[in-house]
Amino acid sequence: MSNYSIGISGLNAAQKALDIIGNNIANAATEGYHRQRLNLTPAYSSQSGPVLLGGGVNVTSVTRIIDGLLEQEILRQQSSLEQVSQEFATLRTVESAFGELSAGDGLNAAIDEFFNALGDLSAHPGETIWQNQAVTAAETMAGQFRTLGEFLTSLQTRIKLEAENTVEQINTLTSQIAELNDNIERMAISGGQANNLQDQRDQYIADLSELVGVQTQNRDYGVVDVVVAGTPVVIGASATALEVGLKEDGSLGITVTGANNVSSDVQGGRFGGLLSLKNELITEIQSDLDDLASGIIQQINQYHVQAVGSQGSFTELTGWTMTSENLADFNPSVTDGKIYVRVTNTSTGAITRHEIDIDASADSLTTIATYITNNITGLSASVASSKLHIQADTNYKFDFLPAVLSVPTVSNLTGTSPPTISASGIYTGTKNQTFQFTVIGTGSVGNGTLQVEVKNGDGQVVTTLNVGAGYAAGDKFDIGDGIKISLSTGDLNANDTFGVDVFANTDTSGVLAATGINTFFSGNSALNISVCSDISDSPGLIATALGAGMTDNTNALRLVGVKDEVLSSLDGLTTGEFYRRLITNLGQQLSVKQMRQDNIAGLVQNLANQQSEISGVNINDEAAQLLIFQQMFQAMAKYMNTIQSSISAVMELI
CA quadruple 75, 80, 86, 92: dihedral positive or negative? negative
User: Does residue 11 lie in a domain region?
Assistant: yes
Alpha helices by DSSP H, listed for 245-281, are 269-276
CB 274 within 8 A of CB 166: yes
Whether the pLDDT of residue 14 is over 70: the answer is yes
- Among 45-49, 58-62, 318-322, 469-473, whose mean pLDDT is lowest? 45-49
Burial of 33 (0-12, 13-18, 19+ CB in 10 A): buried
Residues in the chain: 654
User: Does residue 465 lie in a domain region?
Assistant: yes
The predicted model gives 227-245 an average pLDDT of 92
Bridge partners, residue 341, by sequence: 354
d(CA 155, CA 147): 12
Using the 3D structure, point to which of 502, 535, 562 is the last residue of a domain. Answer: 502
User: Does residue 191 lie in a domain region?
Assistant: no
Is the preceding peptide bond at 232 cis, omega within 30 degrees of 0? no
Whether the pLDDT of residue 102 is over 80: the answer is no
The string of pLDDT tens digits covering residues 159-189 is 999 999 999 999 999 999 999 999 999 998 8
What pLDDT sits at residue 286?
95
Which range, 2-11, 23-32, 325-334, 477-486, is most confident? 477-486
CB 205 within 8 A of CB 222: no
Using the 3D structure, point to which of 465, 484, 502 is the last residue of a domain. Answer: 502
User: Does residue 498 lie in a domain region?
Assistant: yes
Whether the pLDDT of residue 628 is over 80: the answer is yes
Q: DSSP for 436-477? A: EEEEES-EETTSTT-EEEEE-TTS-EEEEEE-STTPPTTPEE
What pLDDT sits at residue 103?
52
What pLDDT sits at residue 52?
65
**How does strand 51-64 pair with strand 433-440?**
unpaired
DSSP annotation of 382: E
CB 338 within 8 A of CB 348: no
Whether the pLDDT of residue 310 is over 50: the answer is yes
**How does strand 421-425 pair with strand 491-492?**
unpaired
The string of pLDDT tens digits covering residues 483-540 is 999 999 999 999 999 999 999 999 999 999 999 999 999 999 999 999 999 999 999 9
Torsion angles phi and psi, residue 34, rounded to 5: -110, 130
What pLDDT sits at residue 590?
93
The string of pLDDT tens digits covering residues 370-419 is 999 999 999 999 999 999 999 999 999 999 999 999 999 888 999 899 99
User: Does residue 190 lie in a domain region?
Assistant: no
Amino acid at 588: Q
What pLDDT sits at residue 629?
86
Dihedral, CA atoms, 178, 179, 180, 181, nearest 10 degrees?
A: 50
What pLDDT sits at residue 537?
94
DSSP annotation of 635: H
The predicted model gives 29-56 an average pLDDT of 79
Question: pLDDT class for 135, splitting at 50, 70, 90?
Answer: very high
Using the 3D structure, point to which of 476, 502, 528 is the last residue of a domain. Answer: 502
What pLDDT sits at residue 105?
65
d(CA 315, CA 71): 78
User: Does residue 612 lie in a domain region?
Assistant: no
The string of pLDDT tens digits covering residues 270-300 is 999 999 999 999 999 999 999 999 999 999 9
Closest CA to 255 of 238, 235, 273, 275: 275
Amino acid at 605: Q
Assign residue 426 a region (left: φ > 0; alpha: ψ between -120 and 50; beta: otherwise).
beta
User: Does residue 648 lie in a domain region?
Assistant: yes
User: Distances from the Cα of 550 to the Cαs of 110, 169, 313, in angstroms?
Assistant: 29, 67, 9
Question: pLDDT class for 49, splitting at 50, 70, 90?
Answer: low
What pLDDT sits at residue 248?
85
Assign residue 483 a region (left: φ > 0; alpha: ψ between -120 and 50; beta: otherwise).
beta
**Where in the sequence is the domain holding 452, given as residue range(s)?**
410-502
Number of domains in the chain: 2
The predicted model gives 569-584 an average pLDDT of 93
Closest CA to 316 of 392, 386, 370, 372: 392
User: Distances from the Cα of 611 to the Cαs of 84, 197, 199, in angstroms?
Assistant: 23, 19, 14
Amino acid at 190: S
Q: DSSP for 30-60? A: -TT---EEEEEEEEEEEEETTEEEEEEEEEE
CA angle 130/136/137 to nearest 5° reads 90
**Across the chain, what does the average pLDDT equal?**
91
- Among 54-63, 139-148, 221-230, 318-327, whose mean pLDDT is lowest? 54-63
The predicted model gives 236-261 an average pLDDT of 90
What pLDDT sits at residue 101?
47
What pLDDT sits at residue 46?
65
Question: pLDDT class for 100, splitting at 50, 70, 90?
Answer: low
User: Does residue 225 lie in a domain region?
Assistant: no
